[in-house]
Amino acid sequence: MTEPDLAPAPPESVSPVAALGADLRIAAAHGVVGLEEEVDLCLAAVLAGGHVLLEGPPGVAKTLLVRTLARALGGSWGRIQFTPDLMPADVTGTSIFRPREGDFSFRPGPLFVNFLLCDEINRAPAKTQAALLEAMQEGSVTVDGERHALPDPFVVFATQNPLEHEGTYPLPEAQLDRFLFKLCIGYPEAEVETRLLAEVHGRSPKARPADLGVNAVTDPAQLLSLAEGVRGATVREDLFEYLVRLLAATRRDPALTLGASPRAGVMVLQGAKALAALGGRDFVTPDDLKAIFLPALRHRVLLDPAEEIEGTRTDEVLRAILDREEVPR
């Protein structure tokens, strides 16, 4: 009698990541319903050191998802409601004159937290959007010529409404490029929505994640330690070549006026490593790259206006590229 095939135990360097992913899914389920894939991708972004942009119509739990994740991941968190009159100093902080001491002291803004929720980020003008660029890229802000370091990790979770909604502004391309993933949250399937109604109809409209039983399953120190292990994941040589072919295909596709940059390729690779670790592996597979391809690139390529008029979606073009390019064995 032959022994049944057993799945190999996850390598020691990544098994804590897989365990964290399982714990986070359980914790997040107390707050949100039916967003399991988004929870995984958000954790992958945190482990890869990136930021996440969530787009969808009002009422699909974008803000609740971020609040739930911030609670479950531990650390400090804050929220900024973006409005047309929001000023850069309202985000970064400002220097305050102290008459008794006769000098200025820096008063930190709301972004001095581990996890920052930027709610309806595309309702603020470009000048305020630019205030986030240094923070998102460098992990610091400069006010009155003085650099102030942000907590580590520092992750921005931004929500935005689709651009066709009134009172929205398109985000600058330079800022979009700072987001590791853009996740599109639409209306739930009927089965999920039925379960949602059954679970939440008795909740208070003002219930916070803590009130719903969402507890912290990690802390910033552990996240930094796990992220260090994620960066050491193995990538086969043929996967580098495969990713380069995918990137090149976006640059020559007639449906796109702007293809993916080399930095976009780096983002795909970082996200794929984190996704592999969440699967209990210390090596990247072609499926990891394919799973990350759309979330990491849909906001970094530009659809031709003629294609947009015809109703073509960026995701459709990217999926077609994935289907065309040969996958390494």
pLDDT tens-digit map of 110-141: 999 999 999 988 888 777 887 788 889 888 88
What average pLDDT does the segment 248-264 reach? 95
Domains with residue ranges and CATH for the chain: 9-193 (3.40.50.300), 232-329 (1.10.8.80)
Per-residue model confidence as pLDDT tens digits over 16-69: 999 999 999 999 999 999 899 999 999 999 999 999 999 988 889 898 999 999
Q: What is the pTM of this model?
A: 0.89
Residue type for position 312: T
User: How far are the Cα atoms of 73, 93, 240, 310 from residue 33, in angstroms, in the given order?
Assistant: 18, 35, 36, 34
Quote the tokens at residue 315: 């995701």
Helix axis angle, 15-29 relative to 62-73, nearest 10°? 130
* Half-sphere CA count of 277, side-chain side, radius 13 A: 30
Taking the CA atoms of 135, 140, 141 and 142 in sequence, report the sign of the dihedral they define: negative
